[in-house]
Amino acid sequence: MRGSLVVASAALLGSLVGCGAEQQPSPPSPRLGGPSHAPSAAPKEPMNRLETAVTQRLNTRLGDDGLRLQHVDCPHWDGTVPHHLRCEGYVDGVVGEVGVDLAKGDGGRIEFDAELGDGVVATTRLVDRLGHEGYADVRCGRDAAYPAEPGLRIVCRGRRDGETVHVVATVTDHHGAVKIEDY
């Protein structure tokens, strides 16, 4: 009887150890992208002619970055040139700075150049940067843009040296610079 008790105890112990090894959950994959942020709503009033022209011109440039400028809101312009305007641009739910340089062109026409400035981190640019740093098949979540708020962390997943790795891109300034760390 005593021998069968030892065998039964050993069998029970073996099944518990095996069972425990199978039930240990694998660590969860981190959520890709940045923290959820409420999209900034564009102003309800319609854009004026200059704001509409700036939006159209910038959208042709921003399309390569996977971004879409929905609205530009500029301060009142008195018509003098040369002049620089700092406007707000609503890019995929994130507010960024849009710089507009106005100048007198041929025949007295007003010409302008515009660029998206501070305030926005483009996900496609982050993916491109990680690709240049040796990561492949990079994914950084669904959002096309994130606010350039220092300390904001964007989690990406990619492959490096044949292994899947996760990368954290931490925004370091309002210009959209990021520090990259893998783990």
SS3 state at 89 = strand
Within 8 A by CB and 6+ apart from 146, the residues are: 33, 34, 37, 94, 120, 121, 123, 152, 154, 171
Q: How many CB atoms lie within 10 A of CB 42?
A: 17
Same domain (yes/no): 168, 108 = no
| Domain-embedded: residue 7 | no
User: What number is the average pLDDT over the span 99-110?
Assistant: 93
Q: Please write the tens of the pLDDT for every residue from 31-87.
A: 899 988 778 888 999 999 999 999 999 999 999 889 999 999 999 999 999 999 999
Inform me whether the pLDDT recorded for 28 exceeds 80.
no
Assess contact for 94 and 146: CB atoms under 8 A: yes
Considering 92, 117, 142, which residue would you say is the last residue of a domain?
Answer: 117
**Residue keyed to tokens 């025949």:** 107
Same domain (yes/no): 113, 148 = no
Same domain (yes/no): 107, 59 = yes
User: What number is the average pLDDT over the span 10-17?
Assistant: 41
Considering 117, 137, 160, which residue would you say is the last residue of a domain?
Answer: 117
Terminal CA-to-CA distance of the chain, rounded, Å? 55
Same domain (yes/no): 110, 155 = no
Instruction: Locate 155 and state its tokens.
Output: 């989690």
Determine the pLDDT at residue 96.
95
Considering 117, 146, 163, which residue would you say is the last residue of a domain?
Answer: 117
Give the torsion through C-alpha atoms of 174, 180, 182, 183, to 10 deg: -40
| Domain-embedded: residue 106 | yes
Question: What is the distance of C-alpha 172 from the center of its chain?
Answer: 13
Mean pLDDT lowest among 4-18, 138-152, 154-168: 4-18
| Domain-embedded: residue 70 | yes
> Is pTM beyond 0.85 here?
no
Same domain (yes/no): 109, 139 = no
Question: What does the alpha-carbon distance between residue 4 and residue 107 come to, in Å, rounded to a whole number?
Answer: 106
Same domain (yes/no): 136, 167 = yes
User: Residue 141 sits in which domain range?
Assistant: 121-182
Same domain (yes/no): 99, 126 = no
Q: How many CB atoms lie within 10 A of CB 152?
A: 17
Determine the pLDDT at residue 22.
55
Nearest to 36 by CA among 178, 153, 165, 129: 153
**Residue keyed to tokens 């879409």:** 68
